[in-house]
Chains A and B, each alone.
Chain A
Amino acid sequence: DSGVTQTPKHLITATGQRVTLRCSPRSGDLSVYWYQQSLDQGLQFLIQYYNGEERAKGNILERFSAQQFPDLHSELNLSSLELGDSALYFCASSSRTGGSGNTIYFGEGSWLTVV
C-alpha cells in the first residue's frame, strides 16, 4: 500500500459527460501528480500541483482541469468526454520539491471507460 488513495476505482460513463476523479496523497506529501495511462500512448504526465499551486503542466487537454485543495487532496475533472479518454488515470504524490532523488508514490488508479 503506497498510501495514495484514489476514488473511484472504476467508472463507466457516456460520451459528452463529465466526471471527477479524486486523490488523497500520502500523509504529509505536498506534491500531487496526475498521469494518464492508455494502451497506445503509455504513461502521459498531465499536471502537477504543489501545496495548492499548479507547478507543471504536461499533455493535459483543455477539457480536463485539476485542482489541489487546502487539505492537499486533489481532483481531476474530465469534461465533454470522448471515447478516446478511456484510460487508467493515476495520481501520485511526493514530499519534496527541489533537490534530486525525489521518489513519487502512485495510487492504484481510476479506470475510466467512456461508452
Chain B
Amino acid sequence: GNSVTQMEGPVTLSEEAFLTINCTYTATGYPSLFWYVQYPGEGLQLLLKATKADDKGSNKGFEATYRKETTSFHLEKGSVQVSDSAVYFCALENTGNQFYFGTGTSLTVIP
C-alpha cells in the first residue's frame, strides 16, 4: 500500500538554526513526493515537490531530494526564520492521483 511516515513533532528551533524534518514513504510504483505547509488558521499550501528519483525540489530556502534507494524525502532549510513557524506535511501522489499525507510536524521558531 501507500503511506507516509514523518518525524514526530513538535520541533522548536532558534532563529537561524538548521532544520531537518524526516519523511519516508511506502508506495507501489513511482510516486511523486510533496511537502505542504499549513500556517495557523489556513489551508495547506504546496511548498515543493519532486516527481522522480534524484529530483530536488526547492522553494523559499527549503529543499528536499527524492531518494528512491532510502524511500525518503527529508525537508531541510539552512537557516530558519520566525515566519517559518507552521505545520509541515510530507505527501505522496500515486499513479491514480491519490494523495497520502503524513501526520504533520509542527515547527516553532523562536527569536
- Residues of A at the B interface (CB closer than 8 Å) are 2, 4, 31, 33, 35, 42-43, 45, 48, 55-56, 58, 90, 92, 94, 96-98, 100-109
Contact = CB atoms under 8 A, between A and B. Distances in A.
B107 to A, nearest CB: 16
Contacts of B32: 100-102
B89 interface: yes
B45 interface: yes
Contacts of A31: 97
Given A100-B30, A102-B32, A106-B45, A56 B98 contact: yes
Interface in B79-111: 89, 93, 95-104
Nearest to B36: A106
A56 B96 contact: yes
B17 interface: no
B100 A45 contact: yes
A101 B99 contact: no
A98 B30 CA distance: 13
B43 A102 contact: no
Given A101-B51, A103-B49, A90 B97 contact: no
Given A101-B32, A101-B51, A108 B43 contact: yes
A100 B93 contact: yes
A45 B93 CA distance: 12
A21 to B, nearest CB: 14
Contacts of B102: 42
A30 to B, nearest CB: 11
Given A2-B43, A90-B44, A101-B32, A96 B101 contact: no
Nearest to B103: A42
B90 to A, nearest CB: 11
